[in-house]
Amino acid sequence: MALFNNEEQQRIKQAVEAAEKNTSGEIRVCVEKTCSEEVLDRAAKYFAKLDMHKTKLRNGVLIYLATVDRKFAIIGDAGINEVVPDDFWEQTKHDMLEQFKQGNLVEGVATGVKLAGEQLKKYFPHALDDINELPDDISFMDGD
């Protein structure tokens, strides 16, 4: 069974596209069933594997979920971490968790994407020469 059906995948992709429309920042969603290590370490590993640290302004954000283990993390690259409020990622996680607790996994992810996009827009507005540096599709991982 897929982690998300086609419609759910499309909703998440559309949330990423909408969030990135007003920013030069990049948002990715990475999903796998289980997390075999500390969740932030796992997210950081995929952040690197997905080349998120290679964006021009170092303003990538990764939302990582391990659905079976019910773990998730949000990490931002150096450029965004320098400018967002200290509690931003924790507040975003809290808002996502509220959706997850109600069984709204897709809405929880979309909430995280939207909130990350708002911060990216604030600090990294869309530029005329901006290009989409990273894919908007969900990255499905199978562990390693």
pLDDT in tens, 19-71: 999 999 999 999 999 999 999 999 999 999 999 999 989 999 999 999 999 99
Which of the two residues, 84 and 115, has the higher pLDDT score? 115
Q: Which of 64, 60, 14, 20 is nearest to 38 (CA)?
A: 64
Biggest distance spanned by C-alpha atoms of the chain: 41
The single-letter code of the amino acid at 73 is A
Q: Tell me the two tokens of residue 71.
A: 């773990």
The arrangement of secondary structure in 6-140, i.e. its CATH architecture, is Roll (3.10)
- SS3 per-residue string spanning 38-71: CHHHHHHHHHHHCCHHHCCCCCEEEEEEECCCCE
pLDDT of 89 over the 90 cut: no
Residue with structure tokens 């283990």?
69
Task: Report the C-alpha gap between 17 and 13 in whole angstroms.
Answer: 6
Q: Tell me the two tokens of residue 125.
A: 């507005």
| Mean pLDDT along residues 97-124 | 94
Q: What global pTM score does this model have?
A: 0.93
Q: Where are the domains of the chain?
A: 6-140
Q: What is the pLDDT of residues 75-88, one digit of tens each?
A: 999 998 888 888 88
- Determine phi and psi for 102, rounding to 5 degrees: -90, 5
pLDDT of 142 over the 60 cut: yes
Task: Report the C-alpha gap between 47 and 60 in whole angstroms.
Answer: 9
Residue 98's CB is within 10 A of a number of other CB atoms, namely 13
